[in-house]
C-alpha cells in the first residue's frame, strides 16, 4: 500500500507561532485540499501526523482539537478529498513521550493501524522534526516551503531531501514521478 503522511500546520493549513487554538484560526493553504484529493484518487493512504503541544501547554483541549479537525475534514470533503486517519501527539515537549516528532512513535502507530512498511512511506512536512521522524524509520521525507519550511531550509544539511513550494507542488511531482 502506498502511504503519504502529512504534517498539519504549515502543510495543509497556515501555521501560527501562537498555535491554532480554534476552528476560526484554522485556514487552509490554497491547493492543499485538491492535492489531497489527487493522492486519494491515485490510491494512496493519506494520514496526518501532528504534534499538538498546545493541549499539553493548556492552550486548548482535545474537544477543541476535534472541532478544528472537523473544520479541516469538512474543507477536504468540500472538494471530495478525505484523510484516512489523523494521529496526534498532545504532549508537552517536556513530557518526553515517544509520539512527539522527531521521535517516530506516531509513525509506528500509523504503520500498525494500516499494516504498512514505513520504509516505503513518504512524509511531507515543513519542519526538521518531520524529516527526522521519517528518517528514523527509513522512509522518504519531502520538505515544503510553506509554514516553517523556509526556516527549515536554513537548518537542513541533507541535500537529498526534495523541496517544493507547497503541498500541491510536492504531490504533483510525486504523482508524475
Q: What's the pLDDT tens digit per position in 104-132?
A: 999 999 999 999 999 999 999 999 999 99
Q: What's the pLDDT tens digit per position in 30-73?
A: 999 999 999 999 999 999 999 999 999 999 999 999 999 999 99
Cell of 174: 510525486
> Catalytic positions, please?
7, 9
Query: Sign (positive/negative) of CA torsion 115, 117, 120, 121?
Result: positive
Cell of 52: 499538538
| CATH numbers and ranges of domains, the chain | 3-117+133-176 (3.40.50.1000)
Looking at residue 148, the DSSP 8-state letter turns out to be: T
DSSP 82-136: --SEEEEE---GGG--SSSTTSSHHHHHHHHHHT--GGG-EEEESSHHHHHHHHH
Looking at residue 23, the DSSP 8-state letter turns out to be: G
Q: Mean pLDDT across the stretch 68-95?
A: 98
Residue 160 has pLDDT above 90, yes or no: no
Query: Sign (positive/negative) of CA torsion 7, 82, 86, 62?
Result: positive
Contact present, 127 and 7 (Cβ < 8 Å): yes
Looking at residue 138, the DSSP 8-state letter turns out to be: T
Q: How confident is the model at residue 158 (pLDDT cuts 50, 70, 90)?
A: confident
Amino acid at each position: 500500500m502506498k502511504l503519504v503522511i502529512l504534517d498539519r500546520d504549515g502543510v495543509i493549513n497556515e501555521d501560527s507561532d501562537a498555535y491554532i487554538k480554534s476552528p476560526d484560526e484554522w485556514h487552509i493553504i490554497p491547493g492543499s485540499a485538491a492535492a489531497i484529493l489527487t493522492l486519494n484518487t491515485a490510491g494512496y493512504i493519506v494520514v496526518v501526523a501532528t504534534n499538538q503541544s498546545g493541549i499539553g501547554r493548556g492552550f486548548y483541549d482535545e474537544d477543541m482539537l476535534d472541532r478544528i479537525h472537523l473544520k479541516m475534514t469538512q474543507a477536504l470533503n468540500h472538494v471530495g478529498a478525505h484523510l484516512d486517519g489523523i494521529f496526534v501527539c498532545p504532549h508537552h515537549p517536556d513530557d518526553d513521550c515517544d509520539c512527539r516528532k522527531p521521535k517516530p512513535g506516531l509513525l509506528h502507530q500509523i504503520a500498525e493501524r494500516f499494516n504498512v512498511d514505513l520504509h516505503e512511506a513518504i512524509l511531507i512536512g515543513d519542519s526538521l522534526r518531520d524529516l527526522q521522524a521519517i528518517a528514523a524509520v527509513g522512509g522518504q521525507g519531502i520538505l515544503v516551503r510553506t509554514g516553517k519550511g523556509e526556516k527549515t531550509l536554513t537548518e537542513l544539511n541533507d541535500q537529498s531531501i526534495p523541496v517544493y513550494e507547497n503541498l500541491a507542488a510536492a504531490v504533483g511531482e510525486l504523482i508524475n514521478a
